Amino acid sequence: MSGQRRILLIVGGGIAAYKSCELVRLLAKADVAVTCVLTDAGAEFVTPMTLATLSGNRVHTSLWDAGEEAEIGHIQLSRAADLVVVCPATADLLAKMAHGLASDLATTLLLATDTPVLAVPAMNVRMWQHPATQRNLATLRGDGVTVMEPDEGPMACGEYGPGRLPEPEQIAAEIARLLGRVVADPLAGQPDFAPAAPRPLNGRHLLVTAGPTHEAIDPVRFIANRSSGRQGFAIAAAAADAGARVTLVAGPVSLSTPPGVDRVDVESASEMQAAVHAALPADAAVMVAAVADWRPAAAATAKLPKSGIADSGIPLAANPDILAELARDPQRPRLLVGFAAETGDPLASATEKRIRKGADWIVANDVSGDVMGGSANQVHLVTDSGVEDWPHLPKEEVARRLVARIAEALATDD
Ligand code: C5P
């Protein structure tokens, strides 16, 4: 089996198409053979010449190129690849894929292929949130297509929200992960692009909490916060990649479950507390959830009337501190990691929080920018030997580094 991995990259029509050029460059640098297919709309944003130069391969654009059909055949084009990547996957392309349309070269290839497919969506936030797109995504996921979550942030069209193409490095990392799964062949050795990941957490159980909690005021209203769950999900994914059995207790978020992770969905802090206890014992726990500090003292069973509440207020009760309780639990994980999100300098309180809550480490971050819901994070790791300042990194990279540190700590504790 040849060591070189082959990607068929379908470039759809959106402003994010320019990022696919950088993706081709990264893949080529990693010695992955990339063949590009450019849709008509994609060709409005990048030229075949750019992709051909970066990939070093001819770019395919038309279903009706007789010479090409005789030479290679469009079905062959997709089947010769280890992975088909659609990037950017526009709302239109996703809709066509979900409905099995085959109206041009790209969609015909997608319908004809038996190769695993990764779709990397990018579109306007309203298009992303539209029920039709969400339905199509659910269909595609059900069909076995891997769909990356888009980033959230300012968009080229001036709006703000989820829909931005993830950075090319993140897409390349996802491709490497999928290639590792798709073509790992124990007889032929590991794929070049995705060398056998070290699995330093083999045999360990990691418990991760993520996302916000919702605290019911009445059957239709609740107290919540802006946590997206992305950092916690990234940590769960990195821990699973490192070989751990992972229980992810997730508050209400709209993220898909990382491969290999056992997910328990909860709504309120008390449900989260119960799910955390049910998941014990664990070797380490990483409490990333932004648990609501308070809940309405009593959730009304019927919708509260509009009038009166503004004057009388809603009596609140403090929520249980799940992290602090876990620190005192007879089944306390050997390594207990908390997060401290503050607006402004997080360090002042993080050191105190580590001791007060009985955690071994606190990951402190300043959430005054777009950290909550965003794709990057700058954190400080507070341990009993001091404070480490980490650079501004994608949340996936923060997760990988933290998981590597957890593996080290558990290994030295043995
Ligand atoms: O006190 P603060 O909310 O800043 O503490 C943050 C850390 O404590 C996080 O690790 C969070 O998951 C955890 N926490 C908890 N239960 C709470 C509040 C916070 O587990 N009720």
pLDDT reading at 187 higher than 70: no
Q: Are 346 and 294 in contact (CB under 8 A)?
A: no
Active site amino acids: 157
Residue bearing the CA closest to ligand 1, atom 2: 340
Looking at domain 6-188, which of 3.40.50.2300, 3.40.50.1950, 3.30.70.1290, 3.40.640.10 is its CATH number?
3.40.50.1950
* CA-closest candidate to residue 356, choices 307, 310, 321: 321
Q: Give the residue, out of 322, 343, 352, with the most ligand 1 atoms within 8 A of its beta carbon, to mutate for a pocket test.
A: 322
Q: Are 182 and 113 in contact (CB under 8 A)?
A: no
For residue 287 and ligand 1, the question of a CB distance below 6 A is answered with yes
Rounded to an integer, what distance in angstroms lies between the CA atom of residue 377 and that of residue 392? 6
Q: What is the mean pLDDT of the chain?
A: 89
What pLDDT, on a 0 to 100 scale, did the predictor assign at position 343?
79
Two structure tokens written together for 83 = 């992975």
What pLDDT, on a 0 to 100 scale, did the predictor assign at position 93?
98
**How would residue 69 be classed by pLDDT, with cut points 50, 70 and 90?**
low
**How would residue 80 be classed by pLDDT, with cut points 50, 70 and 90?**
confident
What pLDDT, on a 0 to 100 scale, did the predictor assign at position 413?
65
**How would residue 203 be classed by pLDDT, with cut points 50, 70 and 90?**
confident
Mean pLDDT of 19-38: 95
| Ligand 1 centre distance from Cα of residue 166 (Å) | 29
pLDDT reading at 50 higher than 80: yes
What pLDDT, on a 0 to 100 scale, did the predictor assign at position 186?
37
Mean pLDDT of 108-119: 92
**How would residue 12 be classed by pLDDT, with cut points 50, 70 and 90?**
very high
Amino acid (one-letter) located at 336: L
Amino acid (one-letter) located at 211: G
Global pTM reads 0.59
Q: Give the residue, out of 323, 332, 345, 402, with the most ligand 1 atoms within 8 A of its beta carbon, to mutate for a pocket test.
A: 323
| Ligand 1 centre distance from Cα of residue 324 (Å) | 8
| Ligand 1 centre distance from Cα of residue 260 (Å) | 26
Two structure tokens written together for 235 = 């940590």
For residue 233 and ligand 1, the question of a CB distance below 6 A is answered with no
pLDDT reading at 314 higher than 70: yes
pLDDT, tens digit, 9 for 90 and up, residues 120-168: 999 999 999 999 999 999 899 878 888 998 988 887 777 888 899 999 9
Q: Give the number of the atom of ligand 1 that is nearest the alpha carbon of residue 209.
A: 12
The domain ranges of the chain are 6-188, 205-413
**How would residue 72 be classed by pLDDT, with cut points 50, 70 and 90?**
low
Mean pLDDT of 281-297: 97
Same fold, 6-188 and 205-413: yes
Lowest-pLDDT range, 156-160, 218-222, 272-276, 357-361?
A: 156-160
Rounded to an integer, what distance in angstroms lies between the CA atom of residue 215 and that of residue 150? 28
pLDDT reading at 1 higher than 60: no
Mean pLDDT of 327-334: 98
Superfamily of domain 205-413: CoaB-like (3.40.50.10300)
What pLDDT, on a 0 to 100 scale, did the predictor assign at position 189?
39
pLDDT reading at 298 higher than 60: yes
Lowest-pLDDT range, 5-9, 33-37, 330-334, 369-373?
A: 369-373
pLDDT, tens digit, 9 for 90 and up, residues 343-396: 777 888 899 999 999 999 999 988 777 667 678 888 999 999 999 999 989 899
What pLDDT, on a 0 to 100 scale, did the predictor assign at position 414?
66
Question: What are the start-end ranges of the H helices in 295-394?
Answer: 309-312, 322-328, 347-357
What pLDDT, on a 0 to 100 scale, did the predictor assign at position 98?
97
What pLDDT, on a 0 to 100 scale, did the predictor assign at position 384?
94
Amino acid (one-letter) located at 370: D
Question: What are the start-end ranges of the H helices in 242-386?
Answer: 269-279, 309-312, 322-328, 347-357
Q: What angle do CA 396, 402, 405 make, to 5 degrees?
A: 145
* CA-closest candidate to residue 171, choices 16, 294, 307: 16
Q: Give the residue, out of 209, 339, 349, 402, with the most ligand 1 atoms within 8 A of its beta carbon, to mutate for a pocket test.
A: 339
Q: Are 292 and 223 in contact (CB under 8 A)?
A: yes
pLDDT reading at 243 higher than 90: no
pLDDT reading at 185 higher than 60: no
H or E stretch covering 29: helix 17-29
Rounded to an integer, what distance in angstroms lies between the CA atom of residue 36 and that of residue 108? 14
What pLDDT, on a 0 to 100 scale, did the predictor assign at position 262?
86
Amino acid (one-letter) located at 126: R
| Ligand 1 centre distance from Cα of residue 338 (Å) | 7
Rounded to an integer, what distance in angstroms lies between the CA atom of residue 278 and that of residue 243? 21
Tally of CB atoms within 10 A around 155: 21
| Ligand 1 centre distance from Cα of residue 342 (Å) | 11
Residue bearing the CA closest to ligand 1, atom 6: 340
For residue 208 and ligand 1, the question of a CB distance below 6 A is answered with no
pLDDT reading at 68 higher than 70: no
| Ligand 1 centre distance from Cα of residue 163 (Å) | 30
**How would residue 197 be classed by pLDDT, with cut points 50, 70 and 90?**
low
